[in-house]
Structure 1
């Protein structure tokens, strides 16, 4: 039996597996993507021509989008959700964006009778598909209570961080650690290979050892094989998140000296033409500076 309608805006690397999981759970899923969405439609999803149209079909909508401008278009734009009555409409916003923009767009929804949950996803796309990614959420208790049954079907770990904005802050904390982890992986791998160790044996030895991590297990093989064309998250996206972290750290007067050093890894990769490649490409300038190629 088909269950109630859920909307998904942004059918990209995170949004598409979310939509597919909802379809598998028996929901009617309405989706919106600015580009081609044949993969979603072929799986049984229903395509809408605007966020406004999705709000006409669904009370609960999830969004995974790229930037602040996209969120403004989705919510307060001419064809946005808030261009219509939003009574009983809840938007679960799962993108890593500027907090002030999220709060402003939440206010636009509330003015029309709706609400927004501030959220974020910690994990890579395969983890979203497997429902093992961690969902960070924050905001109105009543809205979250209504959304939680659906979110719990998308992940076995949904963490409520309380006040609106804390979901994004938790994701920025996560991405600070991620950025350092990737930079350390690139440097350590370059060091080991330069020392004459076979890359494959080195990765196998380190991945489950005392210094291993998810990021190492996923991206060290990509670094060693120069396989960063298989993009999980582009280098430019990491730099975008670093800018958000720096903005929040400045507001809090909380220094992040290690991140300041690591930022050069990402900037160097962008400067050398790897901005659209997976963030594993930060290994390229590191290895080059070590004389590995």
Structure 2
């Protein structure tokens, strides 16, 4: 069992930290909204701290799961950031989806203090975090990854080191690129079925058993048909992620025409007031277009 800190208690981080505490690790949490950290500690029995630096003091491994590049810089490397509370030889694991650029920046800052940095973005949504069934894609030194993997296993369905620093983030970009096209395709299929007067559930029951089947179809089609979009991974976050994908595509010369198009469709959803709807809300844009 290890003494760990967990920074960021959003819809993903809150249950992930809970899995660590339930597995017997000694967990101290930090959240920008202190009341949420206090609630977590009361619920799970761990500790909470006022700053990332205080949470990280004495920890063998620090995890973070925050919002974006600037949030990571704040909790990791600012004056009150975790790195200033960590001892030499400890490990920092970041689960945030951020740019590979900031990952390399934080890895360099960690190295200056004798801390090893692992980028470990996650996929699986709120349900995956709550059920301990996340897919974790990692980048960083192999020996450090092996140490982290044993602890991350409590909330992982699969955990894999893809390569050196930044490889985890680049793999997460592949994940988001694939999801964007899948959700748009599923939205078009379900909207088409509705406009054709078909029973959407009966349609999915048949086509999901063939080549069209996917995780998105099986886990989102019912709520998409019902117009319910409260699964946790918001459109605002997806646009942030797709922006990282598109910028990286420009840097490495990878063409992403479908991703660029779906990013604009998500912009339309934001204009509809759907900033906090989950990513399957693309179907609402099509319904609006069909009704006009």
User: How big is each residue's C-alpha offset from its partner over 1:32-77, in whole Å with a ceiling of 9 and x where there is no partner?
Assistant: 1112324411221211111101221311011111011111111111
Corresponding residue of 1:235: 235
The alpha-carbon deviation at position 154 of structure 1 amounts to 2.7
Partner of 2:31: 33
How do 1:145-164 and structure 2 match up within 5 A?
145-164=146-165
Q: How many residues align?
A: 289
CA apart distance, 1:171: 0.6
Check the 8 A contact 2:92/2:118 in 1, yes or no.
Answer: yes
CA contact (8 A) 2:123 2:134 kept: yes
Q: Which residue of 2 aligns with 1:78?
A: 79
For residues 209 and 268 of structure 1, the distance between their equivalents in structure 2, rounded to whole angstroms, comes to 31
Please list the CA deviations of residues 226-285 of structure 1 after superposition, one character each: whole Å capped at 9, or x if unmatched.
111x23211111111111111111111111122222223211101111112112222112
Q: Give unmatched runs, 5+ long, in structure 1.
A: none
Give the equivalent residue in structure 2 for 1:286.
Answer: 286
Tell me: CA distance 1:142–1:244, structure 2 relative to 1, closer, same or farther (3 Å): same
Deviation at 1:85, TM superposition (A): 5.3
CA distance in 2, matches of 1:57, 1:129: 27
Q: What CA distance in whole angstroms lies between the structure 1 residues aligned with 2:84 and 2:5?
A: 16
Partner secondary structure for residue 277 of structure 2? coil
Q: 1:84 touches 1:112 (CA, 8 Å); kept in 2?
A: no
Query: TM-score, normalising length from structure 1?
Result: 0.93
CA distance, structure 2, for counterparts of residue 91 and residue 140 of structure 1: 12
Work out the CA distance in 2 between the residues paired with 1:272 and 1:133. Answer: 31
Q: Is the 8 A contact 2:119 2:168 kept in 1?
A: yes
CA offset digits 1:153-180 (Å, max 9, x no partner): 3324111101111111111001100011
Offset of 1:201 from its aligned partner? Answer: 2.3
User: Judging changes above 3 Å, is the alpha-carbon distance between structure 1 residues 29 and 203 closer, same or farther for their aligned structure 2 residues?
Assistant: same
CA distance in 1, matches of 2:139, 2:54: 26
The residue aligned with 2:195 is 194
Trace 1:55-204 onto structure 2 (pairs within 5 A).
55-84=56-85, 86-204=87-205
CA-CA distance at 1:202 after TM superposition: 2.6
SS in 1 for 2:160: strand
Q: 3-state DSSP class of the match of 1:86?
A: coil
Unaligned runs of 5+ in 2: none
- Aligned partners of 1:209, 1:10: CA distance in 2, in Å? 40
Contact 2:140–2:164, Cα closer than 8 Å, also in 1: yes
**Paired position in structure 2 for 1:7:** 5
**Bigger shift: 59-68 or 280-289?**
280-289
- 1:115-168: CA deviation from partner (whole Å, max 9, x where unpaired): 210111121122223232211111012321221211233324111101111111
Return the offset for 1:208. Answer: 3.7
Whole-angstrom distance in 1 between the partners of 2:207 and 2:46: 42
The two structures have a TM-score, normalised by structure 2, of 0.93
Aligned counterpart, 2:22 = 24
- After TM superposition, the runs of 4+ consecutive aligned structure 1 residues lying more than 6 A away are none
CA RMSD between the two structures? 1.6
